[in-house]
Each structure stands twice: as C-alpha cells, then as structure tokens.
Amino acid sequence: MIKRHTKILEVLARDQRIKVSALAELLDVSQVTIRKDLDQLEERGLICRIHGYASLKAADDVGNRMAFNYAIKKRIAKAAAETVEDGETIMIESGSCCAFLAEELAASGKDVTIVTNSAFIAGFVRHTPKLKIVLLGGYYQPDSQVLVGPMTSKCGEIFFSDKFFIGVDGFIPDFGFTGKDHMRVETVIALAEQTQGVIVLTDSEKFRHPGALGLVNFDKVISVYTDDRIPQEAESVLLNNNIILHKVPEHDIEND
C-alpha cells in the first residue's frame, strides 16, 4: 500500500490531475482499491478529489509540495527524526519535509513537544496521543496554512530549543539558504534567534535554485538533511562552513 501511495503521488506530481478509472488501470488494481487509497491520501491532506478525478491542491499548498519527491522527502524526514530525543521540545517551521518530520515523530511514539507556526502540521499529526503541539499565533496564510508576522515572532520569544527544523526554497553558495515569501522569511529569522542552531531539511533540487530572499546564513545552520543528488559544489560549501551534512539515498535500497 505504501508503494502504491508513493506511485499515486508521483503520477499526480507529474500530471496534476487524473481520472480515478485511469489511475486504477495504470496501477493494475480495482477502482475500489484506488478509491480507498485516495480516501487515505485525502485524509492526510495530500490530494483532493473532484467528480471522478484525483488532483493536487494549490501550488503553495503543503500537501501539493509533499507530493513532489515524496519518497525522498520521507527518507530525509525519517533520518532527521532519529536525532530527536524522547521528552524533547523542538521547533518546526512550515514545509513539506518538516511535515513529514512531524509525521515520523508521531509514528515513533516518542513523548515530544513540537512548537510550530504551521497549522497544517498541527492538523497533520492531531490524532497522535503522545505528541504535544504548541501552535504559534499570527497572520494566517491560507494556501501554505502557515502563521507568520510580528505576532508569530512575539509568541516564539517565550520558547527556546536546541533544534529548529526548517524548510527552504533555494540556496546561494556565497550566503546560505533562501526563501521566497518575505513574511515567512522574517518569521524564520526571528524564530531562529530562539534556538542554538538551525537544522535544514530539503531535497537536493533546492540547491539548484538561488531563491530571492535571504533566509538563514551558514553561521546559524548546524546540520543539513538532504539526498545524495546534492550538487558537489553545494556539498563542498556546506562542509567548508563546518555544517554537518546527512545524505539519504535517492532510492530506497531495502526495496530495490
């Protein structure tokens, strides 16, 4: 079932929209089976269904972004989740890899408190009994389901954490990581002041795009979790700036 869900998301990431009947034929399963799969993916907020079709959501919707490089992002999140200790309080910013991180922590059964500005993440793991969620207030951006702005920064001032996990939109070798939304960027910069170090979770594709706004420079980043397709130049830059680099394989070796 997990492999089938991955395939469904890969198809939607490529085509954006597909008939349920065509999807069942493509995966060689019954329409009843496909509908059950789609129900589960819709419940997780990853897709939507309209009049016999399955589709992704708006471009900036977290569920939409989670569908792209789905399997790789899951492996990145799983590797990052292993660094979180039972009983720890961590901060997690909005982003697709960050949402998968919260899901991995929920599945682990660890007693963890997550401080986040992502309403999506709060809803994504809402049924987990041991996971505690602190949702920061602020201006709500409906597409990305994230809270941003001065109020969010002010709410974050009462928390301090050793680990602040963030997603990014791009990378500049002479600076660091970048974002594309100025309010989200300002919020991340403010929240980063409440932590000893930032941990970046991103697929390697982001290292090929410079981005528009400076998000976090190298002196705030303690480690990066990505996949083994990261460009050599970017890898060298990270290591030269004493950033610990964790690379997951592009393919799931256990299932190859």
Q: pLDDT (tens digit, 9 = 90+) per residue, 225-241?
A: 999 999 999 999 999 99
Scanning 109-194, the segments in alpha helix (DSSP H) are: 119-124, 150-156, 182-192
Q: pLDDT (tens digit, 9 = 90+) per residue, 49-92?
A: 888 888 876 655 666 677 778 889 999 999 999 999 999 999 99
Q: Are strands 176-179 and 213-217 parallel, antiparallel or unpaired?
A: antiparallel
Is residue 187 classed as helix, strand or coil in its secondary structure? helix
pLDDT at 64: 67
| More confidently predicted of 44 and 226 | 226
Domains of the chain by start residue, with CATH: 2-56 (1.10.10.10), 72-255 (3.40.50.1360)
∠ CA 59-125-37, rounded to 5°: 65
Are 61 and 94 a contacting pair, CB within 8 Å?
Answer: no
Q: Which residue shows structure tokens 């997550």?
A: 114
What is the rounded CA–CA span in Å between residue 185 and residue 178?
8
What is the rounded CA–CA span in Å between residue 92 and residue 106?
13
pLDDT at 204: 95
Question: What pTM did the predictor assign?
Answer: 0.81
Are 147 and 138 a contacting pair, CB within 8 Å?
Answer: yes
pLDDT at 117: 96
pLDDT at 256: 44
Query: Whole-angstrom distance between the N-terminal and C-terminal Cα of the chain?
Result: 16
Count Cα neighbours of 256 within 13 Å in the Cβ-side half-sphere: 5
Q: pLDDT (tens digit, 9 = 90+) per residue, 109-165?
A: 899 999 999 999 998 888 887 899 999 999 999 888 899 999 999 999 999 888 999
How many percent of the chain have pLDDT more than 90? 57
